[in-house]
Chain A
Amino acid sequence: MRIKSIEARRFGALIDSDLSGLGSGLNVVYGPNEAGKSSYTALVRHLLYGFTDKRRAERHYEPADGVRAGRLEFDLDGSLWTLERADGKGGGDPVVVGPNGPSNAQDFLSRVRGGVSEEVYRAVFGFGLAELAELESLESIHSHLHATVAGLSVNPRDAYLGLEKEAATYFKSGGSAQPVAKLLRELSAKRKDIRAERAESEGAEADRERLRELEAQVNRAGEGLVGERARLAEVEAALAGVAQIHDERVALERSEVPEVQRKLDVLRAAAEAIVVDEQVLARLDELNELVARLDQFESARTQLASSVQRLNELDSANAQAILRVGEGWDAASVAAVPVGGQVEDAAEQCAQDYRRAVDVQAEADRVARLAREREVATRGAAEKAVAAIGISYEPGVNSVVDQRIEAIDRLLASAGSAARGSVLPLILSLMLSLAGAGLTGWAVLEREWPVAIVGGAVLLVALVLAITVARRRHPADVTAYLDILGLVDVPSGTKGLDIKQALYVARDVLKDDDEASTVAVDAERVVADARAEVGRVEKECSKILTPLGLGAVAADPSTALSILRRVREAQGLAQELARTANQAIKLRAQCKSFAHRAVQTGVELTDEQEFSEVAALVRLAVERARDSAKLAGERNEAQREVLVTEKELARLSQRLQGIGSRITETVEGVQLPDVRTLADLEAIAGELAREVERLQGNYDEVRDERARLAERLTAVADDDTLARMSLQESAVIEQMREAGEQYSIRAVAAQLIGTTLRKYERDRQPAVVARAASLFEQITDGRYGEVLSPLGEFELTVRGEGVPARGQDQLSTATAEQLYLTLRLAYLESLVGPESALPVLMDDVLVNFDEERRLETARIIAEFASVRQIILFTCQESTLEAFSKADPGHTSLSLERC
């Protein structure tokens, strides 16, 4: 890779300047002060990495006007490439043109830069005396070189120390003020509290177990207490039982038995004193049955009396009804009339039909009379009307009038037509005929046959026309019309109209006359029909009423209907009379039956006694029977009480016999050992009472303890102290985790940097430093043969044969610069990647060197230039001379002062 030219469009003091003709290998560019040597060196970096941000603390080479811009030409594998850049956003966009035209700038730059960062470039590939001068101590040189060669902006050692310091703010071994240590103490305290609380909680569990035991104890004690109480109660009951049995025996012997015996004697006497009429008593059920039917008997008797009274009333009413039917009617004839709704409905229908037929006949008579009156009136008018036109009224007069009307109409029409006609058409037709004849004659004479034909045709047409016109002017039938009308001449207009009007009037009157005749005939026919209907109805009624015995009044169906209704009334009364008589017979039979039953039951009745006395006699008999029954009941009760009392006396005797053995059984029933007597029982009762008292005390004590424990457990159940403590513990642990994470990241980062640094020093620095030492020895002509860099330290020490080791403060400025330069060259030499091809620009770095060391340094640089392009700027002719000696074939260029 070779930079062929550097062109500055605008960069610092450089305006449209360029440095061209640069060759591969060593290029020494001479230029006085203000020729732009530093600017060209910086411009290459800016073009490769972008124009610097103005916020960065360095020189930016701002032009007086316009923006920074420049261009580089590269020879890359024999091809020409250009890189242009103008200041802009992000350092300005690079524009790259290759042998085939525009190309991807980033790809090109990556290839050219070979992964070298800008920082590295500044330190190693494009530096001047200013950069060397910034390195004021060996330590800083060394560190800076470490940092910059590694692409770093800070010293790894500083980073390492900074991280360790930061880590120590979180945790420090043996420290007590750091957060982790504080949190550890806090965690320990929390856990102690939690353990105490848990112990208390477990105490609560123990309490709960104890509570369960107490529950069991309470239950056992309760059960024991209940058992002992039951035993005590049993013994006490036994004691009480014995005493009660003794008292019972005394009571029996002295009181109860004698008293029952006395009661028995009294009862026996009373039972014997009661006498009962057994005969009467035997009929008591029958009498009771009779009494149960007594109301029924009384009801029948009352109804019988009512029926008899009603019979009398009906008999009288029936006789009156038969009389109302009419003369000649008696009970038998009335009863013979058939009964039933159909007969009456037929008679009713008959009467209605007769009334309707009579009404229709009357209406027909009225209508016929009116028709006849109208016929007479219209006949007179018609006779007058035909007489007015000279016609006599006789059959066929209507057609005569119609014939005359037609004649007058036609006559009047013919007269009008003749009046409207003219003789002109007739004359013209005749003239045309003459012309035709003349033409035909001339043509025949002249033998002009076609004209003769035409003339003949004209003649023929004219003759037809003349005949037609003549016929229309003289109609042939006018005369006939005049004959019909009996006229001689055609009447004038007014007269003709009068005749016509008279004829029309006559026709209308004749029409009315015809219609009146027709109506009169029709009315007569209706009257005949109505009379026939009346006759038919009369016959029908006769058929219906005669079988009912009403033939005599069949001609008057209404009267017949009235008689029929009265017959019905009489028949109804006769039927009710029969029903009432039957009812009275039945009631009387019932009463007699009851009286007969009463006699059979023992009631003293005679045939003469009325039914009204029966009830009282029956009641009296029943009363007597019931008295006997009551006495019988009293006697039975007395006998039952005697039996009961006898049993009671026997039971008391048995009790007296059993009381002795019961006392023994009661004592033995307690089932306690060694308890045979009442005294034993009393002794054991005392012991049991004392045991019950002791058990009660135990029970109360256990129950109280249980209550206290339950209360404590309830308090524990609602206590969230442990949960709160656990939450606080969690918070402390989380804080520890956070602090621990912060610490861990920093501590591990510091360890990481330290480890890498140690490796870096071990693997790389020795070779770099050894090469730097070799170069330094060459430049100093063997004065300093060693450059030392102790592992893990960042200081360089130089030493030579006979020269003691010297640190940074013991070296002169020029010697230090020589050392810095050799370190750079050694680092450059250690690079083996694509970055090794990147050209190196040095800006007057040999200015402070003495002649010998300058020459030797020039030789070393010339040697480096054999594998890469080096562009060295200088303002000293001595430096030019040194390079001329070191590499006579180098490219020499010069710059003018800007």
Chain B
Amino acid sequence: MSDSVRFVHAADLHLGAPFKRVQAADSRVSDALLVAGTLALGRIVDLCIDRDVDFLLLAGDVFDSATPHPSAQHAFRRAMEELNTAGIPVYMTRGNHDPGDGRYDWIDLPDNVRVFSSAQVERVLHEREGRASCAIHGWSFPSREVLDNVAKRFRRDPGDQIAIGVLHANVGDREGWDPYAPCSVVDLRDAGMDYWALGHIHLPEVVSAETPVVVYPGSPQGLDPGESGEHGCFLVEAGPGNATAEFVPTASVRWETVEVDMSDVFDAQGVRRQIVSSCQEIREGSACPVILRIELAGRTAARRLLTGADLTALVEDVTAEQMERSPWVWIDRVTNHTRPAMDVGALLSDPGFVGDLMRDVQEMIDAGQAASFVQEALESYLSKVPTEAQPDIDAESLLIAARDAALDLLVQGGE
């Protein structure tokens, strides 16, 4: 085997996935989002060709569905054909989103694409100039929910001079991500690989920089506002017992959420100034267009300016202005998380009605009754509106926000 191999490691493209939790009312935003996934894939292909890599690894969830839309499949096939023309093989696994139990088979992929088996961990020898240059061990999800520790099935072959593991899994029981194919870093280390090409977690992370180097490349294109920051893939140089991974951005649209402090804001001009300043800061830190969520925070006397039609009009105005700049910044949503400009804690000892209200809220939270209270208060609404369209806010936070809204009226008189 050769001394080292160079390859690109990507995962979680989720081709065909609808972008969620965004109000892309502007055609520039919707057009950019519609092509973002394909663009990211194209950038990965370009990187492979430009850097003359030995192969491309795709660690699961290439598609968002086991039966992806034809347009997603065709886009993927075109990219693979381009790599085939360049003589670059592709080794890919199926993840929990695109397991092997789809109703239809994927469209035929070119000969350079090798999809790992779901039946067992496969060992494939990658050949360069007619000789094996490294061994790639991979496994595909047979169905969506796999709760076994699949990493334990991986084992380096004594003949492997360079061994690479490709796995779609939740390493380290990460919260907020499906616990599929759960395993630990120790499990990965025990397998004896030189490099672990992981998938599943959408945020890029070098889980271990020591051998074996363990990397989540994240999704090449952020899929929703929760996937903020840079997204891309990793360019890897792996040799026997060592590997280096370099992050390469590929996203064409960036999601960002920024907290804007309104503590020192007293009027509409101040609100606008703070929001514009945040947009400018975000633009300067990004090479591509940004879809921005703003969370207004801090104790402020201007809370009444931060709700309703006034805020909506201000945000629309600022957004229109920001969309004319380059790269554009689309303010997708402004959430008011500000607190009343008063010592809310001190109100707990107020002997009057406000004190009672404060204590009532605290007692509900302490007793774990916030959810039931909110459920009762919103019973009619919740029964009408589908769950996915209901506010993404937990009961306690909602209760606190409601309490603050009440304080705005009761203490400050709605000034």
Binding site for B on A (CB under 8 A): 115-117, 120, 146-147, 149-154, 156, 159, 162-163, 171, 173, 180, 183-184, 187, 201-202, 204-205, 208-209, 713-714, 716-720, 722-724, 726-727, 729-738, 740-753, 755-757, 759-760, 831, 833, 835
Q: Are B70 and A723 interface neighbours, CB within 8 A?
A: no
Q: Are B73 and A150 interface neighbours, CB within 8 A?
A: no
Q: Are A740 and B389 interface neighbours, CB within 8 A?
A: yes
Q: A209-B104, A743-B381, A752-B402 are in contact. Are A737 and B392 (CB under 8 A)?
A: yes
Chain B residue contacts of A746, Cβ below 8 A: 402, 405
B53 interfacial by beta-carbon distance below 8 Å:
no
Q: Are A150 and B20 interface neighbours, CB within 8 A?
A: no
Rounded to whole angstroms, the CA-CA distance of A543 and B304 in the bound complex is 142
Chain A residue contacts of B409, Cβ below 8 A: 154, 159, 162-163, 749
A-B contact pairs, 26 of them (CB 8 A): A115-B350, A120-B352, A149-B352, A150-B352, A152-B410, A153-B410, A153-B413, A154-B410, A180-B385, A201-B70, A717-B74, A726-B18, A733-B388, A734-B22, A738-B333, A741-B393, A742-B307, A744-B393, A745-B398, A749-B402, A749-B406, A752-B361, A752-B377, A752-B402, A755-B373, A756-B356
Quick check: which of B23-31, B140-148, B237-245 contacts chain A, the rest being far away?
A: B23-31
Q: In the assembled complex, how far is the CB of residue B36 from the closest CB belonging to chain A, in whole angstroms? A: 10
Contact count A vs B, C-beta below 8 Å: 213
Q: Are B381 and A734 interface neighbours, CB within 8 A?
A: no
Known pairs A183-B389, A187-B389, A753-B357; list 4 more (Cβ under 8 Å). A719-B71, A727-B34, A735-B23, A756-B360
Rounded to whole angstroms, the CA-CA distance of A831 and B23 in the bound complex is 53
Chain A residue contacts of B20, Cβ below 8 A: 730, 733
Q: In the assembled complex, how far is the CB of residue B190 from the closest CB belonging to chain A, in whole angstroms? A: 41
Chain A residue contacts of B389, Cβ below 8 A: 183-184, 187, 732-733, 736-737, 740
Q: What 4 A-B pairs are tightest by C-beta distance, nearest first?
A: A150-B353, A150-B352, A726-B18, A717-B74
Q: Are A208 and B385 interface neighbours, CB within 8 A?
A: no
* Chain B residues with a Cβ closer than 8 Å to the other chain, count: 67
- The closest CB in chain A to the CB of B403 belongs to A752
Q: Are B104 and A208 interface neighbours, CB within 8 A?
A: yes
- The closest CB in chain A to the CB of B388 belongs to A733
Rounded to whole angstroms, the CA-CA distance of A353 and B380 in the bound complex is 145
Chain B residue contacts of A760, Cβ below 8 A: 353, 356
Rounded to whole angstroms, the CA-CA distance of A796 and B34 in the bound complex is 64
Q: Are A717 and B353 interface neighbours, CB within 8 A?
A: no
Q: In the assembled complex, how far is the CB of residue A45 from the closest CB belonging to chain B, in whole angstroms? A: 18
Q: Are B381 and A759 interface neighbours, CB within 8 A?
A: no
B186 interfacial by beta-carbon distance below 8 Å:
no
Q: Are B351 and A831 interface neighbours, CB within 8 A?
A: yes
Chain A residue contacts of B70, Cβ below 8 A: 201, 204-205, 208, 713, 716-717
Q: In the assembled complex, how far is the CB of residue A357 from the closest CB belonging to chain B, in whole angstroms? A: 87
Interface 1/0 per residue, B86-125 and A, CB below 8 Å: 0000000000000000011001000000000000000000
Q: A208-B70, A759-B360 are in contact. Are A744 and B381 (CB under 8 A)?
A: yes
Rounded to whole angstroms, the CA-CA distance of A163 and B403 in the bound complex is 12
Chain A residue contacts of B308, Cβ below 8 A: 742
Q: In the assembled complex, how far is the CB of residue B23 from the closest CB belonging to chain A, in whole angstroms? A: 4
Rounded to whole angstroms, the CA-CA distance of A154 and B392 in the bound complex is 31
Q: A152-B411, A727-B24 are in contact. Are A748 and B381 (CB under 8 A)?
A: no
- The closest CB in chain B to the CB of A740 belongs to B391
Q: Within B270-294, which residues are at the interface with A (CB < 8 Å)?
A: none
Q: Within B348-364, which residues are at the interface with A (CB < 8 Å)?
A: 349-357, 360-361
Q: In the assembled complex, how far is the CB of residue B235 from the closest CB belonging to chain A, in whole angstroms? A: 29
Chain B residue contacts of A152, Cβ below 8 A: 352-354, 410-411
Q: Are B353 and A723 interface neighbours, CB within 8 A?
A: no
Chain B residue contacts of A748, Cβ below 8 A: 373-374, 377-378, 398-399, 401-402
Q: In the assembled complex, how far is the CB of residue B290 from the closest CB belonging to chain A, in whole angstroms? A: 17
B67 interfacial by beta-carbon distance below 8 Å:
yes
Chain B residue contacts of A741, Cβ below 8 A: 335, 391, 393
- The closest CB in chain A to the CB of B392 belongs to A737
Report which residue of B20, B332, B349, B353 has the largest number of chain A beta carbons within 10 angstroms of its beta carbon. Answer: B353
B152 interfacial by beta-carbon distance below 8 Å:
no
Q: Are B353 and A727 interface neighbours, CB within 8 A?
A: no
Rounded to whole angstroms, the CA-CA distance of A813 and B69 in the bound complex is 80
Q: In the assembled complex, how far is the CB of residue B224 from the closest CB belonging to chain A, in whole angstroms? A: 9
Rounded to whole angstroms, the CA-CA distance of A619 and B147 in the bound complex is 107
B247 interfacial by beta-carbon distance below 8 Å:
no
Q: Are A731 and B378 interface neighbours, CB within 8 A?
A: no
